[in-house]
Every structure is written in C-alpha cells, then in structure tokens.
Structure 1
Amino acid sequence: MSIALITGATAGFGKASAEKFASNGLNLILTGRRKERLEELKVQLEKQYGISCLPLCFDVRDKSAVNDAIGNIPAEWQGIDILVNNAGLALGRDYFDEADMDDWDIMIDTNLKGLLYVTRAALPFMIKKGGGHIINLGSIAGKEVYEKGNVYCASKHAVDAISKSMRIDLLRHGIKVTAIHPGAAETEFSLVRFKGDPDKAGAVYEGYEPLSAADIADTIWYCASLPKHVCINDLVITCTAQANSFLTFRK
C-alpha cells in the first residue's frame, strides 16, 4: 500500500488532503504542531477508511525536530511515495514599512525553510525507492505581488522557484515535483493572517464564492494519481470570481 506524508495536516488543505488520500486507500504520515488534533485525525481516518496513520508532532521550522521525527520513522513507514508540503501561513497584511518583522521571520521559516527541511529529510527514502512525488503548496501570491503582501508574497515566490529547481535536480532520481498555487480559499488561513480577528478574516471572502479546502485536496489528489510517466509541474487554481492575486469580482 502506498504511503503519503502530509505536513500541516491538522486543518485546511492538509486535513482535507489527508481525508482524500485516506479515502483512496493510502496509509498516511501526518505532521502538525497540535498533538490532540493529530491524534483525533488518526482515529477518524483509521476508523472510517481502514488505513493506517503515523502522527508526528513537530514544528517544521525546527530543523532538528524535523530530522529527528522523519529520520527515525519506523522501517515499515519509510517507503514514502508522496510528500505533500502543505504547512504554511500568512501573518499580517501591512505596508512594508509598518509590518511586524517577527511575522516576516515566521513566514520565511515556515513557508520556505520548513518546506526545505522536510523535503531533505524525506528525500533519502524516495531516492532509495527509486522514485516518488513531491507536491509543494505555493500560492498565487507566488506568481504576482500585491499591496501589503510583501514578505508573504516573497516566501511563496521562493516556493515557486525552489519547486522548479527541485524538478530539475531530482530528474535523475525519477522523482516528480508539482507546485500547486491556490487563490482565495476559505480555511483558517485568513483567521491566522489577521491573528484571530473574525471580522477581518470573514471580509476576505465577502461577495463571491471562494475555493474550499476540498477543492484543493481534489486537485492535489488528481496530480498525485496520474500515471508514473505524467507530471504536472506547475498549476494555478482560483475560484471563478478571481482572475489573479489582486483582481476579484465581488457582487
């Protein structure tokens, strides 16, 4: 049975992807910072779909914790076929000269460095198997910048660049690399970005129907389930009302 490793699995795209992959019979290594949520998800998926889950609780920003957790997974879990680098966040929506620099550090450490740490830790297992598929969650903010997006956009531009580099460098190992760049999607994303302010978070999605976590999970699964010789390298997905990172039609 195939094994997928999904980071940031306790909410949003990560949780929806875990449910989608489990429904298709894959065993799952699930990571996240919230241990209770990980354990609850493990119980739910194993009961509902009859698959096995290995929950790993750590912060992707902590290189030592990443290496310890993934580097020491049991032998029966080392045959990782798919890695979904989903863990990521936006913090603040401020002008460059007014932004909180601690927010900058957290976004860079999570969105870019965390993705790098997890991928390097998991790659030896894929290389040993002679193949695999890495799916990196970027953003349309990684394609175009917008006002008050500054460092979040920069971190997602970096995900775009590193995905292209991985695709080239890992060709010799037969490893696929796909970057998926979602537009506006109604998850905990905006609530985190606006630091728990429900009014600001809700206003992001007023006047149109945004993407859902399930929409993105379906897209991730589609890319992951294609034949071995087919790889979608780069995919941008938005709701119908959104043209790009800064143009949205609101009724």
Structure 2
Amino acid sequence: MISPPDRFSFTRGQVLLLLAGCFLSLSVVAYSDYPREEVRAMAPEARRGLEVWRNNNCQACHQIHGFGGFHGPDLTNRLTPDVLDAELIQVILTGQGRMPAFEFPDEDLDALMAWLRWINDSGRAQPEPLQALNGPIASMHFKELIALADERELVTITGSAQEGLELWTTMQCGTCHRAFQAGLLREPDLTAAATDRSFENLSRFLAEGSGRMPATPLDDNQVRTLVAFLQWVADHRSNLFELNLELTQHEPFRWSDLPWFEYR
C-alpha cells in the first residue's frame, strides 16, 4: 500500500539550496557587521604582544572573541579597567589549574598585557549581563529578597539558615558574591547548582583564602550556619530567582546588544 505523498516533503536539491542560503546569510552577518565604535590603532608594544601570543601558541587553549581552543577561558575581556596586569601575570608565571607556568621576560609580559588591553577595547566576546535598574545594596541583597519572599508567603527562612543569612549580611559577603550571578570581578555565585557547599570545602576556603578572597577565619558553628543558608537559597532558587527579577527591575534583553563578531 502506497501512502499519500507528504505535502510538506522536500527534495534533496531543495534541502541543499536551503542550507546554502542559511550559510550565505550567516556569512553576510558575520563579515559585514563592523564594530560599533572606532577601535584605536594598535601601538607597537601591543603588536609585539600579539607576536608573543602567536609565538607561544596561546590560542591553542584560549579564545579571542570565541576563536581558539577551549581548554582555557576566553581572554578577550580579561583585562578590563578594573583588573590589574599583575593579576594575570601571576597566573602566567605560577600557573593555575590545568595551565602550566611560563617563564616570560618582563618585556614580553608587558607587551602581552598591552595587547590584551587593546583586545578588550575592540569589543565584547560575550553580551554584558543585564544590569539591575533599581537593585538593593549588594551586601543587603539577599536579606531584602528573602524578606520580600516571606512577605509574599512564598518561602520562609528559619533556624540555622536564618543565622547564616544574618552572618552573610554582617560580613558583607554579598559585596563580592552577588545574588544569582557572578560578581564584578568574576566571584562565583555560591548558590549555583554545581557549587560545592560542603562544610569541609567552605571551611578550607574561609581559612586559607583563594585568589582575591582573603582568609576569613570563622568557628565551626559559623561555617555551618553559612552552609545552611547557602543550601537553603539553592533549594529555593527557582522561587527566589523569579522574585529577584522583580526586585531588581533588570533592564530588558535586546538583540541589538549582541556583539556580532565585533573583533577585526
């Protein structure tokens, strides 16, 4: 028995023509959308930094505007005005995680930093996070959010978690570790699903510090209340996240803000 023909079926030639059209359209977008602002000319020192980058095959692990390897982070906007050259130089000289230590002379390091700063000015590799239009003070953010959730009868915090919230607020942890997003200097969201919030892990980080985070000695009971608070937020994340969008009045997403291949 022969089934009736599908009125929406395509021939092989039509499918290939459609794919070719999609590829051509993407090519037009990728190669005709220039940076929205004029990029300053590359200084001689920055050009030497580009040579250092190429000669040491940095692109095998790192990306610039998404192009390169994926063993390490995209470094397009690694050196923003808020970040010191010394922070990245320390990582290069001592290594970090899977990245080995490199021995570069000072002039090569200075040139590489100059080039990465030039790259930072060339555009954004990823869209900037949507900013809060009317957000609370960072150190008080969770306290105000949870108070609003309690007022709306969505969730109520009690016991050790409540004590942890008070400690979090008093120590102003939210100044660096922002609610449901990375901090200004990439401090992690400690309520995210993949975060290790165990007593042992948090105790170690507080006792020893890590990166820009200084050592912050707390007794075991205080650490346990922080663990209880962070876990409570993680458990109620869906409710608090939606309420947080209302509290902070985040600016709307706009397709025009995407950095369509701004690097040139």
Same fold per TM (> 0.5)? no
User: Greater relative contact order: 1 or 2 (C-alpha under 8 angstroms, separation 6 or more)?
Assistant: 2
TM value normalised by structure 1? 0.24
TM value normalised by structure 2? 0.23
Question: Highest CA radius of gyration, 1 or 2?
Answer: 2
More strand by share: 1
